[in-house]
Amino acid sequence: MALSVRRIGEEYNQQMLDILLSSPMDSDGLSVCLDRSPDMLAVPKLFFDSFKCFGFFMNDRLVGYSMVCRKRLYVNGVPREIGYLANMYVLPEARKLGWLYKASEPLFREVLEEAGLGYATTLLGNKRTETLIGRRIPKFPFIPHSKPIGVNCIYNILITFNKRQHASWLVRRATGEDIPEIARLLDDEYRSRLFAPVMTEKNLRKTIERRPDFSFSDYFVAVKDGLIVGTCSAWDISAIRKLRVMSYRKQFRVIKFAYGIVAPILGFPKLPAPGEVFREIVINDFAVEDRNPEILKALLIHIYQEYRKKGYNMIQIGSYDKDPILSAVRGFFSQPLYSHIIFGSADPDLIEKEGIDCSRPYLDIALT
């Protein structure tokens, strides 16, 4: 059996999408897949300065792949070029063959030599990948030194009953005139977050222009006494990613059954059948004054109400686990999904030597 690794591109798009669908994410109640059709490479094209994709071949048949991406992100409040290991998927029959090690030199050598550090994520409880964290084999010197630095939590908020609007803040869609203040709020939030984007006004405008089916009016702002005190984006991300239901399990089977009965009566959006996709809104940018969760909750309620009327099923929002601001999701019916955030570096003692603050890692959930 001949095993090989080589760089691939768009010519393998459909094969990569097929492999992705063979690797669902499982939580207590749901099995879902992040379907990236029609373009598997859309996310690295949109979110990173550069990327390379490497395919794993068994007898010249593509059985898996991974990508390494690069971008300038915050480390201790200073922009720095970072590597990101993304989208590693392998067909079930080709697993346990050490593909990460076989691909380690093309994947990691350039990033380790030029940037020196990066990060990756993997689902909490995924034993296939958790065993690789911190593991090194002398035969493969380009495998980064790795360690978990936190857990990311994504809340999938299911849209059901009406919510009463929060009276303390006026929430509205943003206008072009709000862009400087949105950029200020976001950058104030991100500057102290490890691996967060540098959100100058110029970068924010570039971000808005690059996102498909997105404009400045897809940001919402919370206003009090005429001042903007909070903001978040609300993005229908289906042009580049769809949350496809593979199966309902445990309590979600009961919820799906009950939901189907009451939805026509109470006006709930219809839940997708297995194989179909959730209509979802992703909150992948948010910042509020003093990190006040009540301001974020006011934004979430407004977005929830608006997209409930449009028939959406779900809102996604996330941050590092135990982030106090995530108390904003209380009162919503939500399903959490947890993943490790893994720090990788050429130097095993880099965090200690540079005093890197890992207490508040950032992960853009649109990447996951």
Under CATH, domain 156-337 is a member of which superfamily?
Gcn5-related N-acetyltransferase (GNAT) (3.40.630.30)
pLDDT at res. 250: 77
Q: Is 26 exposed, middle or buried (0-12, 13-18, 19+ CB in 10 A)?
A: middle
Question: What value does the mean pLDDT of the chain take?
Answer: 93
pLDDT at res. 119: 97
Level-2 CATH architecture, domain 3-150+341-367: 3-Layer(aba) Sandwich (3.40)
Distance of CA 343 to the CA centre of its chain: 16
pLDDT at res. 248: 87
- Report the 10 Å Cβ neighbour count for 167: 7
Distance of CA 133 to the CA centre of its chain: 20
- Alpha-carbon distances of 11 from 37, 44, 46, 160, rounded to whole Å: 14, 16, 19, 42
- Alpha-carbon distances of 357 from 72, 197, 285, rounded to whole Å: 17, 16, 21
pLDDT at res. 260: 82
Neighbouring-strand partners of residue 245:
32
Residue extent(s) of CATH 3.40.630.30 domains in the chain? 3-150+341-367, 156-337
C-alpha triplet 345, 4, 140: angle, nearest 5°: 30
pLDDT at res. 104: 96
pLDDT at res. 259: 79
Name the amino acid, one letter, at 177.
Answer: E
Q: Which residues of the chain have pLDDT under 70?
A: 27-28
pLDDT at res. 32: 84
pLDDT at res. 125: 87
Contacts of 216 (CB under 8 A, 6+ apart): 174, 175, 176, 178, 179, 208
- Report the 10 Å Cβ neighbour count for 150: 22
Three-state SS sequence of the chain: CCEEEEEECHHHHHHHHHHHHCCCEECCCEEEEEECCCCCCHHHHHHCCEEEEEEEEECCEEEEEEEEEEEEEEECCEEEEEEEEEEEEECHHHCCCCHHHHCHHHHHHHHHHHCCEEEEEEECCCHHHHCCCCCCCCCCCCCCEEEEEEEEEEEEEECCCCCCCCCCCEEEECCHHHHHHHHHHHHHHHCCCECCECCCHHHHHHHHHHCCCCCHHHEEEEEECCEEEEEEECECCCCCCEEEEEEECCHHHHHHHHHHHHHHHHCCCCCCCCCCECCEEEECCEEEHHHCHHHHHHHHHHHHHHHHHCCCCEEEEEEECCCHHHHHHCCCEEEEEEEEEEEEECCCCHHHHHCCCCCCECCCHHHC
pTM: 0.93
